[in-house]
Amino acid sequence: MSQFDYDLFVIGGGSGGVRAARVAAGEAGAKVALAEEDRYGGTCVIRGCVPKKLMVFASEYAGVVEDAASYGWDLKQGPFDWHSFQTRLNTELDRLEQVYRNLLKGSGVDTFDTRATVAGPHEVKLATGETKSAKHILIATGGHPVRPDTVNAQLGIVSDDIFHLESLPKSLLIVGGGYIACEFAGIMNGLGVEVTQYYRGAQILRGFDDEARGLVAESMRERGIDLRVGTNIVEMAPAGDDHTASWTGTASDAAMGADVKQRREMQTEAKDANGPIWVKSTNGGERVFDMVLFATGRDPNTKDMGLEEVGVKLGRRGQIEVDAYSQTAVPSIYAIGDVTDRVNLTPVAIREGMAFVETVFKGNPTPVDHDLIPSAIFTQPEMGTVGLSEEDARDQEPVEIYCTSFRPMQTAFAGRPDRVLMKLVVSKETRKVLGCHIVAPHAGEMIQLAGIAIKMGTTKEDFDRTVAVHPTMSEEIVTMRTPIRTA
CA distance 296 to 385: 22
Nearest residue to 475 via CA among 410, 417, 422: 422
Q: Label residue 254 exposed, middle or buried (CB < 10 Å: 0-12, 13-18, 19+).
A: exposed
CA distance 439 to 447: 10
CA distance 439 to 228: 21
Backbone angles phi, psi at 24, to 5 degrees: -60, -40
> Active site includes 470?
yes
Residue 167 DSSP class = S
What count of other Cβ atoms lies within 10 Å of the Cβ of residue 46? 22
Nearest residue to 382 via CA among 207, 216, 218, 176: 216
Residue 166 DSSP class = S
* 230 three-state secondary structure: coil
H helices present in 115-197, as ranges: 179-190
* Vertex 39 angle, CA 33 and 40, to 5°: 50
Q: Which residues are catalytic?
A: 470
